[in-house]
Amino acid sequence: MLKSTCHSTSVATASSRPGWAEEASGKLLLLTLLVTVLISVGCATGAGTGNTETRGTGPTTTPPPPVTPSAPNELPVVVGAGVGPSPVLNRPLVSVTVCLPGTSNCQTINNMLLDSGSTGLRIFSSVLTLPVTLEQQPPFFTVYECAEFENLYAWGPIATADVHLSGEKASNVNIHLIGDTTYAPPSSCTTGLSAASSPQTTGFNGILGVYGQNDYSCSSNSSTPCPLPYAVCTSSDGRPPFCTPTPQPPALQVWNPVALFPIDNNGVVFDLPGIPPTGATNVQGSLFFGVGTETNNHLGSASQYQFPLLAEFGGQTFPGGIDSGTPSIGFLNDSMVGLPMVGAYYSPADPTTFTVEMIGANGEGVTVALAVADPTSVLDQGLTADFALMGQGYNDSVVLGFPFFYGRKVFFYYGSQNASNGPAGYVAF
């Protein structure tokens, strides 16, 4: 979600930063009405073609019920209006069922953002009514986490629950209850960022982050410090409430529920339809769990782009990423784009094409040709149209956001954090 380099490593890192309030943040957006993707194996041979189709600020109509899954490892995805006073833009939404461990006492939560660029299940505490148990450290400390994203921070305690995603189940999963106000977060969490306080301000009820295994590979006895620290908080010892940033062992960190499934746990597959140039509302697709584990998640002819990814543009090389949680194409900065604007959108007088090449560590590459046009008429009509929003990159990076996912299958294979322990992670399409 608007990460600067979320897919430039094989595991989620400190730079994984969802941009929940991109439009409100004043980030400049670039609207592309036509996006053509040319895939070249090894950046030289085996060229093929395809296209990326996208949606815009659609009307706030009630979406139809999601399609019925055809297999236990299929989770329906709806690109709909979300929650809050205005419709969310280019946001894949899913339903998650959370249960008290080992029981049938459960709650299903809709309108969860499906994010391939962050890791872990994060639910607004105001939405979750289930009496889940919070993680504790002796003698009377509650484990909290500050997850920093591009524009916002998410603060709240860690709890334990069983997580059901369609027909798959992960038991005793650590989840993050965000928007909590019991304790004030440490200043290291909040500096320069706004709080993710409620579904009404973000447009969704939480995040299902399906990238990698656990969110941070660090612990209290690790030589690698937590880049975005957990904290322990208390007010039970007679002192005023306070929180202290404290690294946590893996058992207390937030994990990707998919990685904890008994089967179909080595990755995910996004399968979103293309939409016509005339527009569409309430687009429906699927997320499949596992890569190469079932008949519905085989790679087929998809090319693999091993992490870390790089992006070449204008004769320069930048970190690159592919991220369903980002509603736009994160495209470097103003000085390298140089287009006029209408409001918050780049709007050239005539269509202008940019070319970016995304390259995997294995030498495989994909060339993305982005034809940018005037968005005025589409925005005035308020349509869910065939266009991609394109915004500033972050930390001089190129991130292909959710518009890239339309009209194709995109595979994320988790791989090993250490290449000597097994195959490296990759994205494929």
**pLDDT (tens digit, 9 = 90+) per residue, 204-233?**
999 999 988 776 544 444 445 455 578 999
Please tell me whether residues 106 and 33 are part of one structural domain. no
pTM for the structure as a whole: 0.83
256 domain residue, yes or no = yes
Phi-psi region of 334 (alpha: psi -120 to 50; beta: other; left: phi over 0): alpha
How confident is residue 329, by pLDDT bands cut at 50, 70 and 90? Answer: confident
Is the domain of 255 the same as that of 338? Answer: no
The CATH number covering residue 229 comes to 2.40.70
Residues 238 and 352 in one domain: no
In which domain, by residue range, is 366 found?
22-50+296-428
Q: How far apart are CA 313 and CA 202, in angstroms?
A: 32
What is the C-alpha to C-alpha distance for residues 153 and 19, in angstroms, rounded to an integer? 10
CA nearest 360: which of 403, 323, 308, 420?
308
Amino acid at site 50 = G
Tell me, rounded to whole angstroms, the distance of Cα 307 from its chain centroid: 16
Residues with Cβ within 8 Å of 187's Cβ and at least 6 positions away in sequence, in order, are none
Is pLDDT at 202 greater than 70 in this prediction? yes
Confidence of residue 385 (pLDDT cuts 50, 70, 90): very low
Give the pLDDT of residue 27: 29
**Same domain, residue pair 186 and 228:** yes
Selection from 16-30, 286-300, 387-401 with the highest mean pLDDT: 286-300
User: Is the pLDDT confidence value at 174 over 80?
Assistant: yes
Q: Give domain status of residue 6, yes or no.
A: no
DSSP 402: G
Q: Tell me, yes or no, whether 127 and 201 share the same domain.
A: yes
Asked whether the predicted pLDDT for residue 290 surpasses 90, the reply is yes
Task: Examine the domain organization and report whether 306 and 236 are in the same domain.
Answer: no
Predicted pLDDT of residue 377: 57
In the predicted structure, residue 420 carries a pLDDT above the cut 90:
no
pLDDT at 81 > cutoff 70: yes
Q: How many CB atoms lie within 10 A of CB 316?
A: 10
The CA-CA-CA angle for residues 230, 19, 382, to 5°, reads 150
